[in-house]
């Protein structure tokens, strides 16, 4: 800023002194900056700007001393004059100013909010050292072409054989049930291999990270905790390092605390991880090649490109594929961490940014329209100024100054709105958008808002400025009291209105598609009855080691829960549909040859007797589980309809046998078939599923589902004390089943709401724009219309004539908008469910709606035109 | 501008600061606690009146310090005379005001 000021003032210094003058001030400024270096950014900026401001007096003093009254700072004085003039003229037209600033504030505010989100989530680098080098490395196969988890033995081989990564680490999502402090707590954790913290390059706040020495079998258990957990559970104890935290079966020594700003890479584990432990402490088999459960991350070695790393890892994978049968057809996949973290949200945010950009454009068009109307009113004033010798450049500069001043006002208000918008966005944290914590309004965003405001101002002031600047002195004066209103201006205004209609229709159609798709999504029958049902999540700790203990606990719990008042039925399951728990396993079907390249698989869960009745899922064939399907009897399972369709089409599934064992076959008899449910999401098709008996397969991770007579709160209290009576150390969590269903459509709902809000504002602005233009035109044509009426035209005819002209413009805009919408609809396709992006009904409905708004906006001024009193209109002359 | 017009308080302060060895504009500002919009025009005016003279720092020195060349000001003999006259006058004025405000 200060340098810009100096350049500006320098123009006022007499030429012979100018270079000297600049040199002197450069030196002064450099010295000032050196002295202010210790101060904060704002203070520094303010000091140097204030300092450089004073250089103006110096410049004009020099000009004065050398007898040249400043040619250069003349420009400044003129600008100041333009500024003051602009402010005065806005003061004289408060209504115009208010509407214009409000419109701009909406446009700029919405754009700035969206940009903050886009910037925080997508554009800003991840908060790790040299984040571009961080990569997710996955195992991929023909069946799962995505970034799949990695087997521990593969991870070890990759680590030993690769040369392109400077670090390679493995992690596994985990939970620890802490039993220390005053209450039990379930803590989202991550098991990490030694070197994890080193690789991220984040300094710990206290202590040290998990080292490779911690991560060997039989090492002492250690944990690193998050700043949040340290504060919340341990009261920010400064001596925490070296103390211990306990779970039921182990005592961990705390070795470090992370800084507050640290976030576990969300691509690894979407929960807020609060404890990190070495992978050696999970008890997982860290030498197996059969189980794939590790997530692997690496840091590219210096000077290595992603391409080189991919080549090398593919070579390593094909070596392993030859060596081990389990690795046949397996490859590796490497994706940058940033891309993996953001995932498909990038697309959605880009889409919303586009929508909000259109909104800003509409706001611009609206203000340009207002400006144009005002400018043609001022045609006479401008003509006088031209006649008095003002150059065109001067007039244009004046109009542009007014535009920029106006939009800076709008920008200021817009930034206020953006602050509100951003804090609302963070508070709602809509739908698990990643990295929401880095969404803030900071200097970058303010800079963005400033640039947008200035560009906006220039954009909407340019058209009138160019046009009016071209007006000859005489034409304005000749127009007499009709004050400007040249046909050229009228044409420009029509173009603007058509543009506005076009943009609005694009947004309307987009919103219509979103709403339609969301309604369809909501009306999807999840396959179960979610009303009046509540679910309690509960995990048995390692104190319940065998199936016998687990079954005993749940029997006692269910006895207590079923006895509660208001409970109609109760059951438990290891994986509640739509709750996010999914377990996929390979299976063997009796009498069917396995295909190694396309192994048979199904999702499985354990469900207690009564589960299907409680959830309202019909058993369509065979029977449900009973208490007798226990360890003493033959293993049984139920399957869903999709399972039957996939594996035994046209056959009777009852009595067939399926094995779920990994090493040894474990055969189950199919005793029943149940209806499909939407387990993964309402938009996701059902997949083959198996249900197993808890008395035979055990259960530690459970959701207890209770169907109530409506008194959910009372039931929750009862269930809480029932669990507490049995084992006070078990952490529990309640949610209604309705809530799970609602949460599964959070994301589409959020996009739909946002898009609809944009479309609504667009509709409003477009309506106001058309109305404003029409009323203005009618006002301009008062005399002409008066003459028509005086000569015998019917009021209805005049009304229709005026309305027709407005609607013609609207229709042109509508048509152009529909073409644009149809051409651009492809980008919406991946967000839509059950509806085509070219759904004709939505297009027609959107256009009709907008046409109705346009008709209303045209009709009101047109009616006024028809009712004009011819005498009054003529007397105006 | 009349050559005989007496020097104002700010001008006196600035001349005094330069005389005391604050030869660089920014130093003068800090020594006098006056804003840049006062200090620099005054320096220019005093130089035009030949009360001050200026010289540029040797390019080699500036380069060694890693900064743009500075402009240093110094008080001329004329300037020194005017300054001491002004200080005397200001002292008298201070006496006048003290008397005016004194007990009585």
Q: How far is B37 from chain A (nearest CA, A)?
A: 4
Name the minimum distance, in Å, from the CA of B72 to any CA of chain A. 9
- Whole-number pLDDT of residue A458: 83
Contact A118, A349 (CB under 8 A): yes
3-class SS letters over A126-170: CCCCCHHHEEEEEEECCCCCCCECECHHHHHHHHHHCCCEEEEEE
Residues in CB range of A746: below 8 A, 6 or more apart = A430, A431, A432
What is the CA angle A381-A386-A388, rounded to 5? 95
Question: In angstroms, how far is CA A116 from the centroid of its own chain?
Answer: 10
Kindly give, in sequence order, each residue whose CB lies less than 8 Å from that of residue A381, ignoring residues fewer than 6 positions away: none
Q: Which of A92-96, A552-556, B100-104 has the highest mean pLDDT?
A: A552-556
Indicate the DSSP class of residue B57.
P
Confidence at residue A179, expressed as pLDDT on a 0 to 100 scale: 79
- The pLDDT of residue A70: 47
Please check the confidence at residue B6 and state whether its pLDDT lies above 80: no
- Is residue A72 scored above 50 in pLDDT? no
**Could you say which residues from 39 to 98 on chain B have a Cβ atom under 8 Å away from some Cβ of chain A?**
39-41, 43-45, 48, 57, 62, 67-71
Classify residue B4: in a domain, yes or no: no
The confidence band for A255, taking pLDDT boundaries of 50, 70 and 90, is very high
Tokens 């350049």, residue located? A7
Tokens matching residue A160 = 């030993």
Is position B103 within any domain?
no
Q: How confident is the model at residue A704 (pLDDT cuts 50, 70, 90)?
A: very high
Q: Which of A876, A795, A800, A807 is nearest to A847 (CA)?
A: A807
Would you state the pLDDT for residue A137?
92
Through-space distance between the first and last CA atoms of chain B, rounded to whole angstroms? 40
Question: Is residue A815 predicted with pLDDT exceeding 60?
Answer: yes
Q: Is residue B2 part of a domain?
A: no
Say which CATH number the domain at B86 has. 1.10.10.10
Average pLDDT over residues A208-213: 88
* Helix (H) or strand (E) run with residue A540 in it: none
SS3 for A686-704 is: CCCEEEECHHHHCCCEEEE
Min Cα distance A42 → chain B (Å) is 19
Q: Which of A23, A55, A62 sits opposite B69 (nearest CB)?
A: A23
Q: Identify all chain A residues contacting B40, using CB atoms and an 8 Å cutoff.
A: 54-55, 57-58, 61
Q: What integer is the mean pLDDT of A313-318?
A: 91
A465 close to A473: Cβ distance less than 8 angstroms: no
d(CA A543, CA A250): 11
In a domain, B1, yes or no: no
Q: Is the residue at B68 inside a domain?
A: yes
Q: Which of B27, B35, B36 to mutate to test the interface with A (most CBs of A within 10 A)?
A: B36
Regarding beta strands A567-573 and A619-622, do their DSSP bridges make them parallel or antiparallel, or are they unpaired?
unpaired
Per the domain annotation, does B58 fall within a domain? yes
Distance CA A224, CA A257 (A): 6
Which of the four pLDDT bands, split at 50, 70 and 90, describes residue A158? very high
* pLDDT for the residue numbered B101: 46
Contacts with B, A 10-69, CB within 8 Å: 20, 23-24, 26-28, 30-32, 34-35, 50-58, 60-62, 65
Banded pLDDT at A315 (limits 50, 70, 90): very high
Question: Mean pLDDT score of chain A, rounded to an integer?
Answer: 83
CA distance A803 to A423: 44
Question: Is B3 within a domain?
Answer: no
Q: From the list B36, B48, B67, which residue is nearest A27 (CB)?
A: B67
Does residue A3 belong to the interface with chain B, where contact is any CB pair within 8 Å?
Answer: no
Residue A391 vs residue A658, higher pLDDT: A658
CB burial readout A147-159, b (16+ within 10 A) else e:
bebbbbbbbbbbb
Predicted complex ipTM = 0.81
Whether residue A483 has pLDDT greater than 50: no
Residue of A nearest to B41 (CA): A58
User: pLDDT grade, residue B2 (50/70/90)?
Assistant: very low
List A278's β-bridge partners, or say none. A192
Residue A778 vs residue A136, higher pLDDT: A136
Segment A479-502 shows an average pLDDT of 66
Q: Do B44 and A27 touch (CB under 8 A)?
A: no
Report how far residue A738's alpha carbon sits from residue A744's, in angstroms, rounded to the nearest whole number: 10
Beta bridge mates, A172: A191
Q: State the Cα–Cα distance between residues A744 and A751, nearest whole angstrom.
A: 13
A-chain CB neighbours of B63 within 8 Å are: none
Q: At what angle do helices A41-53 and A15-35 cross, to 10 degrees?
A: 150
pLDDT value of position A59: 85
Q: Are A282 and A294 in contact (CB under 8 A)?
A: no
What's the CA gap between A582 and A576, in Å, rounded? 9
Averaged pLDDT for residues A578-603: 77
In A440-523, beta strands by DSSP E: none
Task: Check A52 against B67: CB less than 8 A apart.
Answer: no
Closest of A255, A335, A254, A346 to residue A295, by C-alpha: A335
Q: Is A483 exposed, middle or buried (0-12, 13-18, 19+ CB in 10 A)?
A: middle
Average pLDDT over residues B64-91: 86
pLDDT at B5 over 70: no
Distance, CA of A33 to CA of A621 (rounded, Å): 83
* DSSP assignments along A363-420, one per residue: HHHHHHHHHHHHHHHTHHHHHHHHHTT--HHHHHHHHHHHHHHHHHHHHHHHHHHHHH
Rank A609-623, A765-779, A854-868 by mean pLDDT and report only the highest.
A609-623
Question: Backbone phi, then psi, for A627, in 5-degree steps?
Answer: -60, -20
Both structure tokens of A90: 């806005």
- % of chain A residues with pLDDT over 90: 17
Residue A780 predicted with pLDDT over 90: no
Question: Under a CB-based contact definition with an 8 Å cutoff, are residues A550 and A699 in contact?
Answer: yes
Instruction: Return the HEC string of A313-327.
Output: HHHHHHHHHHHCHHH
Is B92 inside any structural domain?
yes
| Tokens 């270079």 belong to residue | A19
Cα(A491)–Cα(A370) distance, integer angstroms = 14
Range of the domain at B84: 9-98
Token readout for A638 is 């139920």
pLDDT value at residue A573:
93
- Return the exposure string of B27-66: e unless at least 16 CB atoms fall within 10 Å of the residue's CB, then b: bbbebbebebbbbbbbbbbbbebebbebeebeeeebeeee
CB B37 to CB A53 under 8 A? yes
Number of folded domains in chain B? 1
Listed in sequence order, the DSSP H helices in A191-305 are 196-200, 227-234
| For testing contact with chain B, the best of A14, A18, A20, A27 (most B CBs within 10 A) | A27
Determine the distance in angstroms separating the CA of A4 from the nearest CA of chain B, rounded to an integer.
17
């Amino acid at each position: 800023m200060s340098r810009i000021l100096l350049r500006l003032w320098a123009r006022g210094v007499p030429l012979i002194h100018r270079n000297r003058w600049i040199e002197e001030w450069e030196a002064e400024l450099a010295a000032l900056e050196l002295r202010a270096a210790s101060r904060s950014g704002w203070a520094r900026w303010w000091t140097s700007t204030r300092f450089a401001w004073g250089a103006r007096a110096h410049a004009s003093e020099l000009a004065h001393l050398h007898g040249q009254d400043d040619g250069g700072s003349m420009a400044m004085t003129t600008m100041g004059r333009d500024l003051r003039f602009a402010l005065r003229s806005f003061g004289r037209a408060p209504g115009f100013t208010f509407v214009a600033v409000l419109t701009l504030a909406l446009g700029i505010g919405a754009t700035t909010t969206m940009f903050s989100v886009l910037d925080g989530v997508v554009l800003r680098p991840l908060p790790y050292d040299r984040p571009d080098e961080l990569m997710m490395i996955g195992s991929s196969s023909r069946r799962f072409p995505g970034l799949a988890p990695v087997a521990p033995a593969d991870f070890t081989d990759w680590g030993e054989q690769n040369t392109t990564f400077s670090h390679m680490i493995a992690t596994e999502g985990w939970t620890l049930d802490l039993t220390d402090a005053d209450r039990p707590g379930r803590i989202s954790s991550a098991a990490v291999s030694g070197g994890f913290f080193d690789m991220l390059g984040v300094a710990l706040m206290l202590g040290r990270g998990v080292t490779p020495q911690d991560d060997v079998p039989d090492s002492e258990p250690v944990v690193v905790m998050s700043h949040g957990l340290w504060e919340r559970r341990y009261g920010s104890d400064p001596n925490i390092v070296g103390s211990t935290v306990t779970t039921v079966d182990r005592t961990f020594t705390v070795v470090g605390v992370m800084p507050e700003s640290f976030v576990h890479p969300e691509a690894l584990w979407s929960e807020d991880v609060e404890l990190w432990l070495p992978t050696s402490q999970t008890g997982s088999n860290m030498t197996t090649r059969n189980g794939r459960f590790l997530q692997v991350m690496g840091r590219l070695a210096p000077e290595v490109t992603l391409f080189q790393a991919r080549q090398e890892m593919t070579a390593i994978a094909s070596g392993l594929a030859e060596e081990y049968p389990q690795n046949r057809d397996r490859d590796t996949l490497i994706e940058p961490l940033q891309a993996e973290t953001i995932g498909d949200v990038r697309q959605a945010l880009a889409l919303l940014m586009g929508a909000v950009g259109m909104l800003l454009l509409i706001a611009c068009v609206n203000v340009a329209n207002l400006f144009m109307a005002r400018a043609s009113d001022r045609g006479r004033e401008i003509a006088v100024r031209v006649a008095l010798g003002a150059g065109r450049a001067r007039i244009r500069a004046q109009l542009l100054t007014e535009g920029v001043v106006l939009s800076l006002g709008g920008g200021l208000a817009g930034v206020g709105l953006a602050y509100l918008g951003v804090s609302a966005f963070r508070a709602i944290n809509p739908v698990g958008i990643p990295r929401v914590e880095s969404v803030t309004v900071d200097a970058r965003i303010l800079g963005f808002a400033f640039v947008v405001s200035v560009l906006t101002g220039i954009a909407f002031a340019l058209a009138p400025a160019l046009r009016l600047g071209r007006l000859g002195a005489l034409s304005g004066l000749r127009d007499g009291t009709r004050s400007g209103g040249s046909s050229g201006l009228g044409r420009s205004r029509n173009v603007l209105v058509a543009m506005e209609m076009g943009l609005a229709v694009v947004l309307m159609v987009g919103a219509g598609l979103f709403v339609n798709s969301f309604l369809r999504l909501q009306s999807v029958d999840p396959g179960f009855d979610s009303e009046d049902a509540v679910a309690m999540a509960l995990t048995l700790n390692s104190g319940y080691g065998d199936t016998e203990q687990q079954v005993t606990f749940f029997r006692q719990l269910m006895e207590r829960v079923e006895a509660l008042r208001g409970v109609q039925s109760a059951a438990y399951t290891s994986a509640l549909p739509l709750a996010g728990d999914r377990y996929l396993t390979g299976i063997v079907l009796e009498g069917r040859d396995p295909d190694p390249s396309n192994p048979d698989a199904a999702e499985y869960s354990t469900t207690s007797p009564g589960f299907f009745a409680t959830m309202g899922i019909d058993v369509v064939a065979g029977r449900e589980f009973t208490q007798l399907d226990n360890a003493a009897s033959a293993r049984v399972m139920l399957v869903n309809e999709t399972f039957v369709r996939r594996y035994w089409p046209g056959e009777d599934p009852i009595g067939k046998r399926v094995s779920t064992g990994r090493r040894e076959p474990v055969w189950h008899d199919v005793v029943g078939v149940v209806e499909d449910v939407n387990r993964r999401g309402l938009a996701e098709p059902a997949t083959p599923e198996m249900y197993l008996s808890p008395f035979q397969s055990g259960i530690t991770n459970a959701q207890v589902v209770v169907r109530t007579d409506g008194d959910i709160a009372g039931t929750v209290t009862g269930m809480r004390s029932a669990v507490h009576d049995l084992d006070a150390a078990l952490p529990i969590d309640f949610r209604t089943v309705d809530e799970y269903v609602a949460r599964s459509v959070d994301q589409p709902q959020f996009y739909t709401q946002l898009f609809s809000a944009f479309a609504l504002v667009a509709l409003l602005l477009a309506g106001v724009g058309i109305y404003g233009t029409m009323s203005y035109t009618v006002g301009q044509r008062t005399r002409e219309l008066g003459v028509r009426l005086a000569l015998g035209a019917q009021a209805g005819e005049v009304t229709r004539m005026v309305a027709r002209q407005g609607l013609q413009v609207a229709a042109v805009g509508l048509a152009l908008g529909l073409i644009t919408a149809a051409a651009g609809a492809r980008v919406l396709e991946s967000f839509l469910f059950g509806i085509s992006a070219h759904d004709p009904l939505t297009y027609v409905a959107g256009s009709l709606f907008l046409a109705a708004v346009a008709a209303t906006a045209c009709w009101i001024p047109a009616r006024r035109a028809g009712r004009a009193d011819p005498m009054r209109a003529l007397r105006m002359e | 501008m009349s050559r005989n017009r007496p020097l104002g308080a700010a001008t006196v302060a600035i001349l005094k600061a330069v005389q005391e060895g604050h030869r660089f504009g920014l130093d003068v500002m800090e020594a006098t606690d006056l804003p840049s919009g006062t200090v620099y025009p005054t320096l220019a005016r005093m130089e035009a009146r030949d009360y001050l003279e200026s010289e540029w720092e040797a390019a080699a020195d500036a380069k060694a310090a890693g900064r743009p060349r500075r402009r240093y000001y110094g008080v001329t003999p004329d300037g020194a005379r005017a300054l001491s006259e002004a200080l005397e006058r200001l002292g008298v004025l201070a006496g006048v005001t003290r008397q005016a405000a004194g007990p009585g």
